[in-house]
Amino acid sequence: MAPGERLVGLQPQVVADLAACPIYSKLTVGQLERLASLTRSIDMGPEVVVFRQADPADAFYLVSDGKVKVCKVLQGAPPATIGYARPGETFGESALFTDEHLASVETLQRTRLCRIDAAGYRQLMLNEPAFAIPMLALMARQLWMMTARVEELLLPVPARLARFLLDASTEQESADGCRLTVAKRELAARLGTVPETLSRTLRRLTAARVISNDYDEVTFLDRPALQRLAQL
Amino acid sequence: MAPGERLVGLQPQVVADLAACPIYSKLTVGQLERLASLTRSIDMGPEVVVFRQADPADAFYLVSDGKVKVCKVLQGAPPATIGYARPGETFGESALFTDEHLASVETLQRTRLCRIDAAGYRQLMLNEPAFAIPMLALMARQLWMMTARVEELLLPVPARLARFLLDASTEQESADGCRLTVAKRELAARLGTVPETLSRTLRRLTAARVISNDYDEVTFLDRPALQRLAQL
DNA sequence: CGGCTCCTTGAGGTTAATCAATCCTGGTGG
DNA sequence: CCACCAGGATTGATTAACCTCAAGGAGCCG
């Protein structure tokens, strides 16, 4: 077992975690049990590697609690953060179609995962569309998010930051600000830039009275300006 | 019917097009017929808009022949080319899950498409996994390609160009070069840059004796150098 | 021969990365 | 309680990448 990993429970925890996940909320009890028999619940500490790019892929994962980072390593360059997975989302679905993971994943916090056997899941999908459809919906969503990422990377840094802040405020259900829940270093990577540039950009937005920024607390002083910047 | 569009045939053309598509090659005759009943074959000229971002989405498309470009429009910026779809690939699958298209699509050449009704396809997927699984495989592939795109956009322009050239040569099954099948203007957009920069970059690679470039013909003089540049 | 479009080339400006130094801040031990 | 240290975050100066604008070609019709 990987360092920092701990086996939590058997059926009860697993079934509860799966049932709590929106994409599996419509399964029958029988289906849930069949799925649970392929699943192990795993507890991991922060900054633990779940798997690495090119590792053999025989399972995919569902986040029950916590947050993980998906990134790709290139030679001669810092790892590129591709995305995150939060509770209810999956990662490593490439295991369903290839035998190698295509990216690396590590936890950002203490995280509980469901590890779902890929071969078994393929079998389930063949027999019961109820397993294939939610997967499809999930991948459509991910595809859409990646598309947004591509679009975003063609924009200048201030626009990317503005989009991130607006998204974060929506997600945190706060009308006029947001909290930065990741370290600035992480945020910079997520935005495809470096900490120095992030720092300066925050500073410029503050100087322009578009936001105010106190540690990890960002308040929107001029939301329209922020939206204009985001080119939404 | 949209300008430049022409209804081709009824069942025979449609069935032949669907059967020719790898993802549907394993369907039974009955399944193929059920799918065909949801499908219309459409012939389009070059540079015709198939649909626009935010158009109501009640169908997705499969490319039988030709090539289309998928792009997103942002205000105050040129349209961003997100990707292409070639024969055997689909686009507009977001129609299966949302009621608005999330990007715009236009043809690059004369193109024959299969237009597949989204609501009907959803119904098929619910009853027969044989329709859901190939869709899933296709979306996994697309997701993977988008991930590669994100990674790529974090690299400098020469690396992006090098990757494109190497990919193109693989695709064209040519060992030591490739032909540029799209206008330079299009290629620049696809690489996330402008024609001027593309022109200069090609020139620099030529000066460095890494490639030679005669109109749309590119020959690799130093493939290892190209791969080094691509950071593969 | 215009007129057209696309590509190329040049000059200049802007953006953002890099490098190096400094500043916090939170923890540690005297 | 306070000096000290280690880490990340900030700032400044410099450099490099790339975009923009403007001015030529080169091919391609009429």
CB-based contacts of A159, cutoff 8 Å, min separation 6: A152, A229, A230, A231
- Rounded Cα distance between A135 and B3, Å, is 37
Mean pLDDT across A190-215: 94
Per-residue confidence band for A2, with pLDDT thresholds at 50, 70 and 90: low
> Is B116:B39 a contact under the CB 8 Å cutoff?
yes
Record the tokens describing residue B155, joined without a space. Answer: 């690299």
> Shortest CA–C1' contact from B159: which nucleotide?
D17
- Rounded Cα distance between A114 and A172, Å, is 25
CA–CA min distance A107, chain B (Å):
19
Per-residue confidence band for B118, with pLDDT thresholds at 50, 70 and 90: very high
Mean pLDDT across B16-33: 89
Q: Determine the distance between A216 (CA) and D8 (C1') in angstroms.
A: 13
Q: Does the nearest atom of strand D lie within 7 Å of B157's Cβ?
A: yes
pLDDT score recorded for residue A1? 52
User: Which of A2-16, A62-76, B191-205, B210-224 is predicted with the least confidence, judged by mean pLDDT?
Assistant: A2-16
Residue found under tokens 């300008």: B3
Residue found under tokens 């936001």: A211
Q: Does B125 touch chain A (CB under 8 A)?
A: yes
Of B80, B129, B146, the CB nearest to A146: B146
- Rounded Cα distance between A134 and A32, Å, is 13
Cβ < 7 Å from strand C, B residues 158-217: 183-185, 195-196, 198-200, 202-203
Q: Does the nearest atom of strand C lie within 7 Å of A213's Cβ?
A: no
Q: Does the nearest atom of strand C lie within 7 Å of A157's Cβ?
A: yes
Mean pLDDT across A127-141: 90
From chain B, pick out residues whose CB is under 8 angstroms from the CB of A139. Answer: 136, 139-140, 143
Cross-strand bridge partners of residue A7:
A42
Of B93, B126, B147, the CB nearest to A146: B147
> Shortest CA–C1' contact from A159: which nucleotide?
C15
- pLDDT of B125 over the 90 cut: yes
Residue of chain B whose Cα is closest to the Cα of A79: B151
Per-residue confidence band for A9, with pLDDT thresholds at 50, 70 and 90: very low
Which of A98, A150, A155, A190 should be substituted to probe chain B, the one whose Cβ sees the most B Cβ atoms within 10 Å?
A150
The mean pLDDT of chain B is: 90
Q: Does the nearest atom of strand D lie within 7 Å of A198's Cβ?
A: yes
How are beta strands A111-117 and A80-85 bridged, if at all? unpaired
B6: left (phi over 0), alpha (psi -120 to 50) or beta: beta
Per-residue confidence band for A75, with pLDDT thresholds at 50, 70 and 90: confident
Q: Does A2 touch chain B (CB under 8 A)?
A: no
Amino acid identity of B107? Answer: T
- Rounded Cα distance between B92 and A204, Å, is 39
CA nearest B114: which of B93, B94, B132? Answer: B93
From chain A, pick out residues whose CB is under 8 angstroms from the CB of B77. Answer: 154-155, 231
Cβ < 7 Å from strand C, A residues 180-199: 192-194, 196-197
Q: What is the DSSP letter of A93?
A: G
Residue A25: helix, strand or coil by DSSP? coil
Mean pLDDT across A51-59: 94
Residue found under tokens 């999330």: B102
pLDDT tens track for B59-89: 999 999 999 999 988 876 778 898 899 999 9
Residues 162-191 of chain B with CB under 8 A from chain A are none
> Is A15:A40 a contact under the CB 8 Å cutoff?
no
Strands in B49-51's sheet, in edge-to-edge order, are B49-51, B104-107, B68-72, B80-85
Of B127, B129, B140, the CB nearest to A93: B140
From chain A, pick out residues whose CB is under 8 angstroms from the CB of B144. Answer: 94, 102
Residue B181: helix, strand or coil by DSSP? coil
% of chain B with per-residue pLDDT over 90: 66
Q: Determine the distance between A1 (CA) and C28 (C1') in angstroms.
A: 34
pLDDT score recorded for residue B9? 47
Q: Does the beta-carbon distance from A146 to B143 stay under 8 Å?
A: yes
Of A135, A149, A232, the CB nearest to B136: A135
Residue found under tokens 């593309």: B198
pLDDT score recorded for residue A5? 52
User: Which of A8-22, A126-140, A185-199, B96-110 is predicted with the least confidence, judged by mean pLDDT?
Assistant: A8-22
Q: Cα angle vertex A109, ends A104, A113, to 5°?
A: 65
Cross-strand bridge partners of residue A41:
A114
The mean pLDDT of chain A is: 90
Element (H, E) at B81: strand B80-85
Residue A44: helix, strand or coil by DSSP? strand
- pLDDT of B32 over the 80 cut: yes
Per-residue confidence band for B210, with pLDDT thresholds at 50, 70 and 90: very high
Q: Does the beta-carbon distance from B147 to A76 stay under 8 Å?
A: no
Q: Does the nearest atom of strand D lie within 7 Å of B81's Cβ?
A: no
- Rounded Cα distance between A98 and A100, Å, is 6
pTM > 0.95: yes or no: no
CA distances (Å), B98 to each of B68, B87, B119, in order? 21, 24, 11
Residues 68-97 of chain B with CB under 8 A from chain A are 72, 74-77, 80, 82, 93-94, 96-97
